[in-house]
Structures are given as C-alpha cells and as structure tokens.
Amino acid sequence: MTLERLNEIKKLLNEYNYQYYVLDNPTVSDQEYDRLMQELQSIEAKHPEWITADSPSQRVGGEVLDGFQKVTHQRMMLSLGNIFNEDELREFDDRIREVYPQVEYVCELKIDGLAVSLVYAQGQLSYGATRGDGTVGEDITHNVKTIKSIPLSIDYQGDFEVRGEIYMPKKSFEQLNQQRKEAGEPLFANPRNAAAGSVRQLDSRIAAKRGLDAFLYMVPTASEVGCQTHKEALDYIKQLGFKTNPMTRVCANIQEVWQFIMEMTEKRQSLPYEIDGIVIKVNRLDWQERLGYTAKVPKWAIAYKFPAEEVITKLKDIVFTIGRTGQITPNAVLEPVRVAGSTVQRATLHNEDNVVSKDIRVGDYVVIRKAGDVIPEVVRSLKERRDGSEKKFQMIDVCPYCGSPLVRKDNEAAYYCLNEHCDSKKIERIIHFASRDAMNIEGLGEKIIEQFYNLGFVRSIEDIYSLSRHEQEIIDIEGFGRKSMDNLLEAIEKSKGNSMEKLLFGLGIKGIGAKMADNLSKEFKSMDALLNASTAKLLSMRDVGETLVQSLNRFRSQPQSMTLLEHLKAIGLNMTYLKDTSLLQESIFNGKTVCVTGTLELMTRKEIKEYLARLGANVTGSVSKKTDYLICGRDAGSKLEKARELGVTVLSEAQFQEEVNL
Ligand SMILES: NC(=O)c1ccc[n+]([C@@H]2O[C@H](COP(=O)([O-])OP(=O)(O)OC[C@H]3O[C@@H](n4cnc5c(N)ncnc54)[C@H](O)[C@@H]3O)[C@@H](O)[C@H]2O)c1
Ligand SMILES: [Zn+2]
C-alpha cells in the first residue's frame, strides 16, 4: 500500500518537475508540490530501503535542454532544504548549535527566480550557466549579457565564480503577461517561470526585452579571497560591482531570525520582486565547510517557505453546489481577487458545521487561502470589519436543484439530495460517459466534472464537446493551467474517433455493460443498425434477454435519447464499430493494454496505434503495472527500463510484425 503510494508520488513529482523545470509551465501550485515532497520524504524516512537514486527527493531540480551548450559546474549547484514553521526552524537551529553553540546566521530574501552561476576569467565574464541538474547546467551567456546589472568585467584577475538569482521584477512580469494576453499567447504562471523561460531563449533579443535582473548571493571560493564569513563575501562582491540584496541581515540567534521572517512576511507584498521565503545561512565559512552537505542540499543553510498565500476579499453570497453522490456543498461567491497568480471568485466553505463554527456571514470580509487544491478555501471572517448588515448563514433544507428535502447522514457533516432524478444523476451520467471504459477522456475525472457542472460549463454530455467555448474561464480557475487545458481539449477531440462500443457503453443504458456493448457493436456494426434492430433479432443473440431488450426499447423510444445521439453525430462522433472482427479472434492483443516506444522503422506511430486499435488493444502512452505489452522501436529509453522492471512482455517492432503476420 505505502510502496504503491510512494511510486505514485514519485511519478507525480517527476511529472511536475518536468513541467516546472523543462517546460517552465507548472500545472500545480508550489504548495501542492511541497506537500507531496514532504509526504515522499516521510515515507522514505520510514523505509530507507525504498530510497532509489532517481527519487525526486535525491535530485536537484531540472534537466538540461537540447539546443544549449552544456556546462559542467566546477562545484555542484545545490538546492535548499525547506521548512515551513517556527518549530522546524528551531529544530534546524538545534542541530547546528549541537556543533556550534555560538552560531550566527545570515538571513536573506529567497528571491523567486532561477539560480545562475557567473564565471569570470582575467576579469572578463567568460560564461553564465543555469543550475540544470546541479552537476551540468545550460550555457546562457548570451542572455546573461543582456542583464544590465551584471558586470561584464570586474576588477579581479584570477578565476572567479559568483552565484545568484536571475529574476523578473513584478512590473516586467505584468507587462509581459499583458502583451502575451493581447497576442493570444499562453501566460506565464509566475515570475519565476517567466524568468526561466526568458533566459532559455536561443535568441538573446527576446531575453533583452524581458526586463530581467539579478541578485548575487554566494561566492564558492570566498575563503580563498580572504573572507571569513558569508557576510564578508557579500560585501566583497558588492565592492566588485555586483548587485546584492539590501534586505540581508546578520542575526545573533534564532529569535532574531524569526523576527526577520515576521518582518519580511509583512513587507513581502510591497517588494518590487517576488520572494517565496527566507534563506537562513550559517555565517562563518569554516563552519559551513565542516557542517557539509547531503547529496542535494547544504546542511548549513535552510529555506523557510511562506505559507500558502492569503488575501482578503468580500463575501458577496453563498451558493450551493451538488456533487455526484448528491452531496450539497456551500460555496462562497467572492469579490474577484488576485491570489498567488490567479483570480479567485469562488471558494469552498466545505459544509454547514464549518460555516457555523467559523461564523462566516454573507457581507463579511474573509481571508481566502489558495493552497494546492483546485478550489481555494475561506479560512476565516474578519469580524472586526462588520457593519451590522451581514447576514447570518442558514443551511438550506431542500435541494436547490429539485426541491427535495435534504438528508443528513449519520456521523456526516454533509447534506445529501437523494432524489433519483436530481442533478447529481446527471453529473453521474457525464462522469460515466467520460470514464476509462467508456469514452476514456483523460483529464475529465470526477472532481473536474463536478466542478464544471456547477460552474455551468458542462451540463450535459453534449456540452463536453463545446468546452473550448469556456477555455479562458477554465484556465482562470485556480490550478487549471494552459497545458492541462490543451491536453483536455485534445483528449476530448480524440474521443470522437472511438469505436462504437465505447460510446454505447458510455450512454449508460441499463443492462449494457462494457462487455455487452462490445457484443452488440460487433453484431450490428453501427449505432443506426442497433437502434433499428428488431426484438427478434436481438433476442436471437446469446446473452441477450428480455430485460435488456426492454431497457433498449425504453432508450430508443425516449426523444431526449435520440436527440442526444443526433447531436453527437452532428458533432462528429464516430458511430460505427471499428474493430476488425476477423483480426480480433486470433489477436493476442485483443483486450490487452499496449504501449509503443522508441523510433519505429516499419510503420509510423500513428499506423501502429490504429492497427493495434483494430486488433482490440487499448493503446496507452505510458508503462504501468496494467501494461501487457511494450512494443519497442530503436533507442527506447525509460519506458523500456520500466517495462523490464515490471516484468511487462517486450516485443521488438519486427517481432510485432511477425506476430500479426504483416
Ligand atoms: N509547482 C510545481 O510544479 C513545482 C515543480 C518543481 C518545483 N517546484 C518548486 O520549486 C521548489 C524546488 O526548487 P529548487 O530546487 O530550486 O529549490 P528551492 O527554490 O526551494 O530553493 C533553492 C533555490 O533557491 C534559490 N534562492 C533564492 N534566493 C536565494 C538565496 N538568497 N540564497 C540561496 N538560494 C536562493 C536558488 O535558486 C536555489 O537554487 C519546490 O519546493 C517547489 O516549491 C514547483
Ligand atoms: Zn435534488
């Protein structure tokens, strides 16, 4: 169970790392990422035997993109350990003071940009590089040179390396996103990703226009140039002409550190650049040296991360939404407010007990927290700002959709509408339609459908196919990035080509399960033929009984069902059986999950996929425990490794062709 969870988290984190470091386009918030990382670390702490070298907990950040020169760092560029509260800060301090009771710290703002290494030779900038995976980075010299505050020459004749953070000031970020919006281009999620995306342009004219800047905060060879402390090193580079951050403070003990953190939490909003925390470093360089490093982070420094961002806004109304199971949830309608990079207009209030115990009223000013979840939440109300016009919360007792009395189940805080014909059933039908064995629309899961339903984007099955109309609104929903939207629209488009049995099963006709849908489709070949089939013909089939015929008759006599099918046909959904029955009988791939990887030589990727579909295979994009076969072309990489690890049968392209007699 836990091992399974561990693998699941690793997979997610690797995916998020890729989106964040390679694509500069995260699909989840940093809080969500950090929460998963903590969970991973706590499982690994309990089971050290499960730690693998490729675990995200063991690796520093990103990957090196093709297209850039690679630079091997003279010394590893590491990440930082994270802490999230005062207790953890004190634990860090305890560990240090066990060795150095007199420790002094330097506190710095944690600039939300990307790390850069600048190397000078004979006083000239010789190159600038990204952190990459810590060992090898990308040469971004051409873009570094566009940053005006970075000196191209310094008054130091030997080899000299200095490290710091390239960032995009808030103003530049807003202008950039405004321009991109007007040009219809995808927006950057935050200044960090915008900065990273800018320095990784091959054309330096682009970076030059992006208004980037840099703070320098570290000299790997500080003691060699005569510095004893980190603070001296900072002063030294400032003298050489580098820009250092003015907020830096030396603290005599951990109380002063916490004091600094509190002060900066206040100041954060008013700074002209984004910070996501405070970095705390041991000041003495020889002590740093002796405290040393883990594989990923220094032991002499730590990053305190600010909690999920909170903002204040007015609660205009409370509305109720319904979920798949009929659960009724109160939601806050808010005066739109920007929080951590997106505009929030709605937030969940969870349930009646929560609203009552926090005494949240319509008209209140409330604190909204954007954590990792798709829907932000209301943390508390500001009672001191009330003027008496606020309305006390009253839970409804009938369903807002159908008027049936609501039922509170034993031991549960939630209320339910149990009416069979209520909206929850519609949600359920849409969920079923999109599910894996039916139309298999990836990215359109239960929670998303509930949310889209309640926001009015998807009220019926047909609506799925006009979702692009709400594209911008959906991207604005917290947590739903441009990339997820593109993927979703692609998955929806792809589902139009499904073979008939998937659609038939998706319609949710009573008695027609996945297997029966397959049998009927195989027999009748098209939706029209099935809908016009005589009772006698149906009954002549094996496994088809009276009940099923009655159920199908009910379906075909309902005008709304026929209209639905007509609409789907007009939208372009395939209504015929695409699997080739003669091929199916003998195919070893029938009903199996198959993945294709590597460079194919005999067929194109598209051809082989279509062919496999005709053989009855379910073709997937990744290898998992559910995979039955992996078909491998040349230069197969991680998928092949994974398949071997999981014991999945691997076939070469030639073996595949032989198997299917091509
Ligand atoms: N949302 C996502 O999908 C996603 C994915 C991957 C990572 N992340 C975020 O990135 C974090 C990991 O990134 P990371 O490895 O760069 O670590 P980090 O950002 O937590 O800390 C290390 C980095 O801090 C920067 N830094 C800024 N100011 C500094 C200063 N004064 N002194 C020293 N360093 C300073 C440096 O670039 C350094 O490499 C995660 O904790 C998460 O919040 C998010
Ligand atoms: Zn109802």
- Residue 302: is it exposed, middle or buried by C-beta count within 10 angstroms (0-12/13-18/19+)? buried
> Which of 100, 135, 93 lies closest to 290 in space, CA to CA?
100
- In this prediction the pTM is 0.56
Taken as a whole, the chain contains a residue count of 662
Residue 224 and residue 66: Cα distance in Å, rounded? 35
Q: Kindly state the helix (H) or strand (E) to which residue 195 belongs, with its residue range.
A: helix 191-199
What pLDDT is recorded for position 371? 53
Average pLDDT over residues 133-147: 94
Residues 6 or more apart in contact with residue 73 via CB below 8 angstroms = 117, 129, 134, 135, 136, 137
What pLDDT is recorded for position 524? 94
Q: 500-571 falls under which CATH superfamily?
A: 5' to 3' exonuclease, C-terminal subdomain (1.10.150.20)
Strands 82-83 and 301-305: parallel
R_g over Cα of the chain: 30
Please state the domain extents for the chain: 2-58, 70-305, 310-416, 423-495, 500-571, 581-659
> Which of 408, 404, 439, 410 lies closest to 422 in space, CA to CA?
404
Is 614's pLDDT higher than 90?
no
* Ligand 1 centroid – CA 79 distance (Å): 7
Handedness of CA 279, 283, 288, 289 (dihedral sign): positive
pLDDT tens digits for 56-67? 998 887 777 778
Question: Hey, how many other C-beta atoms are within 10 angstroms of the C-beta on 553?
Answer: 12
- Contact (CB, 8 A) for 78 and 296: yes
pLDDT tens digits for 326-347? 889 999 999 887 776 567 888 8
Residues 6 or more apart in contact with residue 299 via CB below 8 angstroms = 95, 291, 292, 293
Q: How many CA atoms lie within 13 A of 433 on its CB side?
A: 22
pLDDT tens digits for 261-280? 999 988 887 899 999 999 99
- Contact (CB, 8 A) for 291 and 105: no
Residue 303 and residue 393: Cα distance in Å, rounded? 41
Crossing angle of the two packed helices 254-267 and 86-99, in degrees rounded to 10: 150
- What is the ipTM, given to two decimal places? 0.93
What pLDDT is recorded for position 540? 93
Is 128's pLDDT higher than 50?
yes
Residue 273 and residue 97: Cα distance in Å, rounded? 33
Two domains, one topology: 70-305 and 423-495: no
pLDDT tens digits for 383-422? 878 899 999 999 999 998 899 999 988 778 889 998 888 9
> Phi first, then psi: what are they for 407, rounded to 5°?
-120, 135
Say if residue 399 carries a ligand binding annotation.
yes
What pLDDT is recorded for position 248? 97
Residues with CB under 6 A from ligand 1: 16-17, 19-20, 26, 28-30, 33-34, 61, 79-80, 82, 108, 110-111, 114-115, 131, 165, 217, 279, 303
Distance of CA 121 to CAs 128, 160, 650, Å?
12, 6, 52
pLDDT tens digits for 514-567? 889 999 999 999 999 999 999 999 999 988 999 999 999 999 999 999 999 999
Say if residue 30 carries a ligand binding annotation.
yes
Beta strands in 266-341 (DSSP E): 275-282, 301-305, 310-322, 327-339
* Ligand 1 centroid – CA 232 distance (Å): 24
- Top CATH class of 423-495 equals mainly alpha
In the three-class reduction of DSSP (H, G, I as helix; E, B as strand; rest coil), residue 535 is classed as helix
Architecture of the CATH domain 581-659: 3-Layer(aba) Sandwich (3.40)
Say if residue 537 carries a ligand binding annotation.
no
**Quick one: which ligand is closest to 280's CA?**
1
What pLDDT is recorded for position 585? 67
**Quick one: which ligand is closest to 217's CA?**
1
Residues tagged active-site: 110
Residue having the nearest C-alpha atom to atom 38 of ligand 1: 79
Which CATH number, 3.40.50.2000, 3.50.50.60, 3.40.47.10, 2.40.50.140, labels domain 310-416?
A: 2.40.50.140
For 20-45, give one letter per residue: b (16+ CB within 10 A) or e: bbeebbbbbbbbbbebbbeebbebbe
pLDDT tens digits for 465-503? 999 999 888 887 655 777 788 889 999 999 999 999 999
- Contact (CB, 8 A) for 645 and 626: no
Architecture of the CATH domain 2-58: Orthogonal Bundle (1.10)
User: For 337, which DSSP code?
Assistant: E
> Phi first, then psi: what are they for 612, rounded to 5°?
-60, -40
- Contact (CB, 8 A) for 631 and 597: yes
- The hierarchical CATH code for the domain 70-305 is 3.30.470.30
What pLDDT is recorded for position 127? 96
> Which of 493, 527, 525 lies closest to 509 in space, CA to CA?
527
- Contact (CB, 8 A) for 112 and 190: yes
* Ligand 1 centroid – CA 376 distance (Å): 23
The two most distant CA atoms of the chain are separated, in Å, by: 97
Which tokens go with 349? 């209030």
Residue 649 and residue 640: Cα distance in Å, rounded? 10
pLDDT tens digits for 495-525? 999 999 999 999 999 889 988 999 999 999 9
- Contact (CB, 8 A) for 117 and 217: no
Is 372's pLDDT higher than 50?
no
